[in-house]
Structure 1
Amino acid sequence: MGKWLVSAMILCLLATGCGTVARNETSPSPQNDDRVRAQQSEPRNKEIRSSKQVASHLETLASQIPGVKGANCVVFQNTAVVGIDVDGKLDRSRVGTIKYAVAEAFRKDPYGVDAIVTADMDLAERIREIRSDINRGDPITGFANEMADIIGRIVPQMPRDTMPDEPGRTNPR
């Protein structure tokens, strides 16, 4: 039993010792690095100091795109959400093209590089209402109310969850 244990330990030591190779080279220093380095070519998003100025800037930028009738923007921290108003008679592909053109214009702008663009009529109207609440000096309540409205539309109503009318109970409709 002792011979097997000694043999197994020697075998383990040999197996682990074979994996290491002596290296005389040091880690490369940045001065001696011959690899090609690329600088970031896309605009970096700027830190937003005045959300009202940035919102106005992005609204103006979006409104200059052909096919955009108007734009509303809400800025929260370093993210902007822009709702664009387009002609309701346009087909889906044309609206997508206009939305893409707005996003492309924002990509070249340091404030708009991380913006979210929507052409949905309902969301654009909600953003317009949030923007007007902010301008009236009531940003938190206005935002909370509009978010509640948006979420209320998103959450599905399941027929299984509805309660049948009970006899004798008045149903307010």
Structure 2
Amino acid sequence: MRMFVFIILLLSVVMAGCAQSPKNGASPLQTADQNRQVKVNQTAPQKKQIQDPRAVSDRLEQIATSIPNVESANCVVFGNTAVVGINVPPGMDRAKVGTIKLSVAEALKKDPYGVDALVTADMDLAERLRNIRTNMRNGRPVHGLAEEMAAIIGRIVPQMPRDIQTPPQGNQPQHAAPNRPVNHP
């Protein structure tokens, strides 16, 4: 296997080194001009390093609640990433909720701390973010996060397949139907 990988690498190096000269009389200088690359400066806002997570959280919540139909927002900052949960009026159409979520994301994009923030309008996740935020502000960041992550994972995967225990074959209940072949039409 190593020999095969070595041969492939050797062939790719040889092929790269055997560059062809330009055809139909073009000089190498003309070909170089045609392959010139244009350098473009980055115009998107750059994400700033988060020094004070609480201040960034408050700022992003304020930006999110400034959008019409956003009743409240909860932001949790971990390291250099922010997750913003928004609450919208109950009974709102899904398409309208998606539009509001997009509006919040666009507003956060203009902020250097919110450029890479994650926005959710899911009621359950927004509530869990609020609980995490409350625990963090009460001085229990790890405990609060662990509780909420356990609840989220428990909701996503309520039963782990490896935790299912099958009864031994010899201990079948008396009322169980005998194994019969099934005839399929």
* Cα offset, 1:88, TM superposition: 1.3
User: What RMSD, in angstroms, separates the aligned Cα atoms of the two structures?
Assistant: 3.0
Which structure has the larger Rg over C-alpha atoms? 1
1:83-94 residue pairs with structure 2 within 5 A?
A: 83-94=85-96
* Cα offset, 1:156, TM superposition: 4.2
Per the alignment, do residues 114 and 163 of structure 1 end up closer, same or farther by CA in structure 2, a change over 3 Å counting? same
1:82-161 residue pairs with structure 2 within 5 A?
A: 82-157=84-159, 161=164
Q: Matches of 1:152 and 1:87 in 2, distance apart?
A: 27
Equivalent AA in structure 2 for residue 104 of structure 1: E
Q: Report what 1:42 is aligned to.
A: 44
* Cα offset, 1:107, TM superposition: 1.1
* Cα offset, 1:151, TM superposition: 0.4
Equivalent pairs counted in the alignment come to 142
Q: Matches of 1:90 and 1:163 in 2, distance apart?
A: 45
Equivalent AA in structure 1 for residue 90 of structure 2: G
Q: Which aligned runs of 4 or more in structure 1 are off by greater than 3 angstroms?
A: 156-159, 161-164
Equivalent AA in structure 2 for residue 146 of structure 1: E
Determine what percentage of the aligned residue pairs are the same residue: 56
Q: Matches of 1:92 and 1:137 in 2, distance apart?
A: 36
3-state secondary structure, aligned to 2:71? strand
TM-superposition CA deviations, 1:76-119 (whole Å, max 9, x none): 01110000010111010000000000000111111001100000
Give the TM-score, by structure 2 length. 0.68
Q: Report what 1:10 is aligned to.
A: none
Q: Matches of 2:150 and 2:103 in 1, distance apart?
A: 30
Equivalent AA in structure 1 for residue 146 of structure 2: A
Equivalent AA in structure 2 for residue 101 of structure 1: S
Give the TM-score, by structure 1 length. 0.72
